Chains A and B, each alone.
Chain A
Amino acid sequence: MTDAATTNTATTHTDWHALEPSSAQKFRERVLPFIIAAIVLAVIPLMGPSRTTLTLLNHMGINIVFALSFNMLLGRAGLLTFGHAVYLGLGGYFCVHILNWIDGSEGLMQHLPVFSLPIFGFGLGALAGAIIGYPSCKRAGTAFAMISLGVAELMAACAFMFDTIFGGEMGISGDRMSGPEFLGLSLGPLEEVYWFIAFWTLFGTIAMYAFTRTPLGKLSEATRDNPERVQFIGYNPTRVRYLVFIFAGGFAGLAGGMAAVQDEIFTPESMSLIPSGVVLIAAYVGGIRYFSGPIMGAILLTYMQSNLSDYSSAWLLYLGLMFIVIVMFIPNGIAGIVFGFWNGLRSPNRGAMMARWAGQGVAVVLMFMSIVVLVEVAIRWSEGYGETFEAFGMSFSFDSILTWALIVLPFAAGVFLMRRVTRKDEVPV
């Protein structure tokens, strides 16, 4: 640009850079979190995690990508889907097939590194999104949700029917050690799979974050807020939804490719309504209004799925209760709490806020304790083995008045405290 042109621009146009966040702020909000995430991912193996921990971490990575792709639809585009696991499943199945093709190939396929499989998962997920999304994105809202439910049922039924592709109830399995090594990773030991998962988790997260910054990503939010208005700024809301749907399918397929390498097996179960429901819960519990919400939700839910059953046979009940409580009382999810806490710590009236949080915290603990006692006593009572629930150095028998007092009283105290602390400034809508 010439000098004259520069001056011209400066005089006739308002300086738009002043409206932008400063570069320090941009770095802090858009780059730093990813650097920290990369460092954390790099440090974890130094702590010598066990095989169980590694498997758990790998599943967390897969679920993070999956939940983020789900939130491209629910959080960013306002599209509630009950069948997102279809795209993970199709991408994953495709990748297990590729594993077997690599394994059995004498030709070109044998040179394909297994490390690249998630790209193929992305491709098939996006293709499936393009095919299934074409009719279903014509409608939004309830109709879209119902169609997604129907598609999920249909695909799961197909998966049980077409044995040559989906392997029937047993599914299909492959060997991730096939093919050439990539970056010196044979992908045999779990430690090496960890690096594979870490790379693709970071890649998927950055790519999906970058997507939110593109014109299409912005338009997806605009369409969520107001599809009617979008038409009068030149965009076809159906087209916006359709394109976003293809990307969401693609990233779900990417997660499927990661899962194919980690688990080396895919079964028709993976396309059923259950994983579709779990990803919905993960995204919502984490907080769909924040980009990082589904990440937190995926980490928590993966942990609960694999570890909570060690503590209680009623763990699904706790999961369900948590979901209901979050939907009813904490619509912004864990991320909402985390960011609210962070902002509160830096606000001028942090003293008052901390007092309130402390009160709310105590109330939650009280209510949680009585629910635990109730659930654990009830489940042992119903099992009828004469087992009693023991905790806090006490034994809770279902026919003791003390037990019921310890169920009712802390709960009542918790509700009372919560109302007192919260009443002042918030009215639930």
Chain B
Amino acid sequence: MTAPALELRNVHKSFGPAKIIQGVNLTIPKGEVHAIIGPNGAGKSTLFNLISALHPLSDGEILLNGETITGKRPYQINRMGLSRSFQVSNIFTNMSVRENVRCGVLYSMGLGYSFLKNVGNLKEVNEKTAQILDEVGLIDKANLPAALLPYADQRTLEIAITIAGGADVIMLDEPTAGMSHSETDRAVELIGRAARGKTLLIVEHDMGVVFGLADRISVLVYGEIVATGKPEEIRGDPKVREAYLGDETIPGDEEVTA
């Protein structure tokens, strides 16, 4: 049996006296699309930052493909095959779209910190870059400065950079936040394509997106996972209903019953 893509064992995180994550256990098998939902302030983003090592753990352990990543630096974890996006667009604003993606490709192509090669002449790197740009639909805007892209395109570029390195575990933090309906539909389609054959962990507020994409869903409330299961199980779970009572409508009701 192969190791799960991602395994969280009794993960705790406190900021001073505030206990944000209180004992999260989660196992995500390879190839699964897993969504984390929960009310505001539940600790979803903190959990993401713990997995990607932006914050150190207070207690517990996290394993990526069976190897512990506790104590590793973000770039080391990235090299082990985990890549993430951010809630706010986190791109290289002064570079062109193509250069953004190319930077994401370089390390995985073995270029490292090379200072003896001309990036313009790296055939494989530029091919891969063009291929990713084509995949996400940004090829027509390849030579625009990234800062001039419309918001939805910046979010798409964010995803493009995230997948550029070829990581097999992808974490997306609210990839459709702030998008219109049609933009969201396009983003969902893109995420579905990009995640094919990969493990995807996603935090999302749009329940339509969550129930459309996820194989399994975990519900995080006040730093604890109250339920994990298939979308239909989650929708019927009384604990989930309780957590969402008065916060928002029951996840995905209207989309799926309609």
Contacts and interface: CB of A to CB of B under 8 A. Distances in A.
Interface of A: 9, 13-16, 19-20, 26, 210-211, 213-219, 221-222, 224-226, 228-236, 239-240, 243, 247
Contact of B93 (A225, A235, A243): A225
B244 to A, nearest CB: 31
B5 interface: no
A351 B90 CA distance: 39
Nearest to B106: A215
29 contacts: A9-B127, A16-B129, A19-B130, A19-B142, A20-B126, A210-B118, A215-B119, A218-B102, A221-B94, A225-B95, A226-B91, A226-B92, A228-B54, A228-B86, A229-B91, A229-B92, A230-B75, A231-B78, A232-B78, A232-B83, A232-B162, A233-B103, A233-B107, A233-B165, A234-B75, A234-B79, A234-B108, A235-B75, A240-B113
Interface in B106-150: 106-108, 111-120, 122, 126-127, 129-131, 133-134, 139, 142-143
A234 B115 CA distance: 16
A14 B133 contact: yes
Point out which of A15, A218, A228, A232 has the most chain B C-beta atoms below 10 A from its C-beta.
A232
Given A14-B131, A225-B94, A233-B165, 19 more contacts: A14-B133, A19-B133, A19-B142, A26-B120, A213-B118, A213-B120, A214-B119, A215-B115, A216-B114, A221-B95, A222-B103, A225-B93, A226-B91, A226-B92, A232-B74, A233-B78, A233-B103, A233-B107, A234-B107
Interface in B64-115: 73-75, 78-79, 83-84, 86, 90-95, 98-99, 102-104, 106-108, 111-115
A217 B162 contact: no
Contacts of A217: 115
Contacts of B129: 16
Contacts of A236: 73, 75
Q: Give me the 6 closest cross-chain CB pairs, A-B, nearest first.
A: A234-B107, A16-B130, A231-B74, A225-B92, A216-B115, A14-B130
A26 to B, nearest CB: 8
B164 interface: yes
Contact of A15 (B94, B102, B130, B164): B130
Interface in B143-170: 143, 161-162, 164-165
B113 A243 contact: yes
Contacts, number: 120
A19 B138 CA distance: 12
Contact of B111 (A210, A215, A226): A215
Given A228-B90, A234-B78, A243 B102 contact: no
Contact of B161 (A13, A14, A233): A233
Nearest to A21: B143
B218 interface: no
A19 B90 contact: no
Nearest to A244: B115
Contacts of A226: 90-93
Nearest to A212: B119
A404 B117 CA distance: 61
Nearest to A20: B120
A243 B114 CA distance: 10
A214 to B, nearest CB: 5
Contacts of A26: 120
Nearest to A226: B92
A224 to B, nearest CB: 8
B176 interface: no
A248 to B, nearest CB: 12
Contacts of A14: 127, 130-131, 133-134, 139
Interface residues of B, number: 49
Interface of B: 52, 54, 73-75, 78-79, 83-84, 86, 90-95, 98-99, 102-104, 106-108, 111-120, 122, 126-127, 129-131, 133-134, 139, 142-143, 161-162, 164-165
Given A225-B93, A229-B92, A232-B52, A214 B126 contact: no
Contact of B75 (A20, A210, A231): A231
Contacts of A228: 54, 86, 90
A215 B130 contact: no
Contacts of A211: 115
Contacts of A230: 75, 103
Given A226-B92, A234-B79, A214 B118 contact: yes
Point out which of B92, B102, B111, B143 has the most chain A C-beta atoms below 10 A from its C-beta.
B92
A20 B99 CA distance: 11
A374 to B, nearest CB: 39
Contacts of B86: 228-229
B127 A232 contact: no
Nearest to A16: B130
Nearest to A247: B115
A155 B134 CA distance: 52
A13 B134 CA distance: 9
Contacts of B75: 230-232, 234-236
A229 B161 contact: yes
Contact of B126 (A16, A218, A232, A233): A16
A217 B99 CA distance: 12
Contacts of B134: 14
A47 B76 CA distance: 58
A215 B117 contact: yes
A236 B77 CA distance: 11
Contacts of B104: 233
A13 B124 CA distance: 10
Contact of B115 (A13, A214, A231): A214
B220 to A, nearest CB: 22
A31 B107 CA distance: 28
Point out which of A214, A215, A228 has the most chain B C-beta atoms below 10 A from its C-beta.
A215
Nearest to A219: B103
Contacts of A210: 118
A230 B91 CA distance: 9
Nearest to B96: A19
Point out which of A20, A225, A230, A239 has the most chain B C-beta atoms below 10 A from its C-beta.
A225
